[in-house]
C-alpha cells in the first residue's frame, strides 16, 4: 500500500517565523499592547491565530480584528518573509518518485498556503494543499485532517509530519501516527508527550522514517 503523507507547512516545510512574528508585532502595536521579546512570540507559528492573540492579551471579542490587522501586513509582505528548509525539495522529489501521495495539512488559510508553495515552486509536489477555510468550516488541524481523510477515502495508510504538539494531537484524533520534526517551532518534549510516533532530527532522518527501509528503526510508524 502506498503511503499518504500529510505535511504541516509553517515550521515543517518552510521557516516562516520571521514573517509571522513581524506581523504579530505589527498587530500588537496597533492594539497598544506591550511587545515582548521576539523569541517569546514563536508560539504564534502553527496554532490558529485567534487563540494565540487572546493568549497575548487581545480581548477574545476582538481576536478577529487582531487577525485582520495581522493580515494587513502578512498578505503583501509577511508571508514571503519565509524560506524553505534545506533539503525539503529533495525530500519531496524522492517521496514522489517512490509513489507516495503528498498533501499539505495546515491551519493557515488555504489560499495563503497555495500562494506560498507556488512562490517557492513546491506546490507541484502535492496532490492537494489543504488549510483553514475563510468560512470557518475548517479552523484547526483536526478539521483539516478530517477533510483530507474524506478526500483520500481512507486513513490506514496515512502519516502526519509536523513540528508542534498540535500536529500530533490533530493526527491522533483520527488514529493517524505523527512524526515530529525538531527544526520547527514546537518542542520535542511537547510532541513526545502528545504521543508522536517518532522524532526526526534531520531531513535525512525524516526520509529514512518515511521511506520505511528494511533497516528503519521506526517500523511501528507503518505497521
Query: What is the Cα–Cα distance from 73 to 22, expressed in whole angstroms?
Result: 9
Catalytic residue among 8, 10, 15, 167: 8
Query: What is the Cα–Cα distance from 82 to 12, expressed in whole angstroms?
Result: 12
Tell me, yes or no, if 156 is annotated catalytic. Answer: no
The residue ranges of DSSP E strands in 2-100, in sequence order, are 4-7, 14-15, 83-84
Query: What is the Cα–Cα distance from 153 to 124, expressed in whole angstroms?
Result: 22
Structural element, H or E, at residue 53: helix 49-55
Place of cell 496554532: 47
**Nearest residue to 210 (alpha-carbon basis) of 94, 87, 89:** 94
Distances (CA, A) of 192 to 153, 165, 218: 28, 8, 14
Instruction: State the pairing for strand pair 83-84/101-109.
Output: unpaired
| Catalytic annotation, residues | 8
Amino acid at each position: 500500500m502506498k503511503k499518504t503523507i500529510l505535511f504541516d507547512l509553517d515550521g515543517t516545510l518552510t521557516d516562516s517565523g520571521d514573517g509571522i512574528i513581524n506581523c504579530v508585532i505589527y498587530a500588537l502595536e496597533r492594539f497598544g499592547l506591550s511587545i515582548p521579546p521576539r523569541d517569546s512570540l514563536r508560539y504564534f507559528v502553527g496554532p490558529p491565530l485567534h487563540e494565540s492573540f487572546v493568549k497575548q492579551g487581545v480581548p477574545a471579542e476582538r481576536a478577529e480584528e487582531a487577525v485582520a490587522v495581522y493580515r494587513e501586513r502578512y498578505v503583501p509582505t509577511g508571508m514571503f518573509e519565509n524560506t524553505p528548509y534545506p533539503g525539503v525539495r529533495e525530500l519531496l522529489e524522492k517521496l514522489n518518485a517512490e509513489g507516495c501521495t503528498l498533501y499539505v495539512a495546515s491551519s493557515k488559510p488555504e489560499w495563503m498556503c497555495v500562494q506560498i508553495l507556488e512562490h517557492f515552486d513546491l506546490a507541484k509536489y502535492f496532490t492537494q494543499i489543504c488549510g483553514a477555510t475563510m468560512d470557518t468550516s475548517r479552523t484547526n488541524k483536526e478539521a483539516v485532517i478530517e477533510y483530507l481523510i474524506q478526500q483520500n477515502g481512507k486513513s490506514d495508510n496515512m502519516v502526519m509530519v509536523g513540528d508542534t504538539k498540535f500536529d500530533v494531537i490533530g493526527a491522533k484524533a483520527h488514529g493517524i501516527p505523527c512524526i515530529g520534526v525538531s527544526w520547527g517551532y514546537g518542542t520535542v518534549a511537547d510532541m513526545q508527550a502528545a504521543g508522536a510516533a517518532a522524532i526526526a532530527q534531520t531531513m535525512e532522518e525524516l526520509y529514512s522514517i518515511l521511506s520505511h527501509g528494511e533497516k528503519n528503526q521506526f517500523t511501528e510508524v507503518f505497521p
